[in-house]
């Protein structure tokens, strides 16, 4: 979203009443969960009718959920996750950024060790004898050429 569109969206959203903002956020959350359910259903080639049968409800109810006419409750989402083999994880944006940062740091450490190994390999006359072993926290590295 461009900054101007985002600003207009936020202005429009902020003009709403508190109850309207809560309802809109609830719709977004429901659609996020149902989007994951829908993707899994497509992967497994499961129809809405089949999902309804699996969780013990009507196909009409499932259609209403996916159209956004109704919101799923926690029990419905739990049944869907169990029947489809989905494991929902809830994460705030801050936690997600923290996890991404941790992964980037871990990747950089592995990359640095690889660079050390390649530098050592270039410096010796018999590169097949080069071995680099390193331990950094929980990760262990062992490379041989």
Q: With a cut of 70, say whether residue 17 has pLDDT above it.
A: yes
Lowest mean pLDDT, pick from 15-24, 64-73, 99-108, 123-132: 123-132
Q: What is the pLDDT of residues 114-142, one digit of tens each?
A: 888 888 777 776 656 655 555 555 555 55
Residues 128, 105, single domain; the answer is yes
47-55 own/partner pairs: CB under 8 Å, 24+ apart: 51/80, 51/83, 51/84, 54/79, 54/83, 55/79, 55/80, 55/83
Task: Kindly state whether residues 39 and 57 are assigned to the same domain.
Answer: yes
Helix (H, G, I), strand (E, B) or coil at 46: coil
Supply the pLDDT for residue 36: 95
CATH of the domain at 21: 1.10.260.40
Write out the H or E segment, with its range, that includes residue 143: strand 139-144
Residue 66 has pLDDT above 90, yes or no: yes
Tell me the mean pLDDT in the region 47-69: 95
Can you tell me the distance from the alpha carbon of 79 to that of 85, in angstroms, rounded to the nearest whole number? 10
E strand or H helix that includes residue 140: strand 139-144
Q: Are residues 111 and 72 in the same domain?
A: no
Distance CA 71, CA 55 (A): 16
Determine which helix (DSSP H) or strand (DSSP E) holds 134, and give its type and residue range.
Answer: strand 131-136
Considering the domain architecture, whether residues 14 and 47 belong to the same structural domain is answered as yes
pLDDT at 70 over 60: yes
Asked if 14 and 80 sit in the same domain, the reply is: yes
Q: Region 38-46: what's the mean pLDDT?
A: 96
Residue 50 and residue 59: Cα distance in Å, rounded? 8
Could you give the count of Cα atoms lying within 13 Å of 118 in the half-sphere of its Cβ? 6
How many domains does one find in the chain? 2
For residue 2, is it within any domain? Answer: yes
Supply the range of the domain harboring residue 126: 93-136
């Amino acid at each position: 979203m461009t900054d101007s569109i985002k600003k207009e969206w936020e202005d429009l959203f902020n003009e709403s009443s508190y109850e309207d903002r809560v309802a809109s956020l609830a719709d977004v959350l429901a659609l996020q969960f149902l989007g994951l359910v829908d993707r899994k259903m497509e992967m497994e080639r499961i129809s809405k009718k089949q999902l309804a049968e699996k969780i013990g409800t009507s196909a009409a109810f499932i259609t209403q959920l996916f159209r956004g006419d109704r919101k799923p409750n926690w029990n419905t989402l739990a049944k869907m996750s169990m029947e489809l083999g989905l494991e929902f994880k809830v994460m705030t944006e801050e936690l997600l950024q923290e996890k991404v940062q941790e992964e980037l740091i871990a990747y950089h450490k592995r990359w640095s060790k690889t660079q050390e190994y390649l530098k050592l390999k270039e410096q010796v006359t018999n590169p097949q004898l080069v071995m680099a072993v390193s331990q950094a926290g929980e990760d262990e590295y062992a490379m041989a050429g």
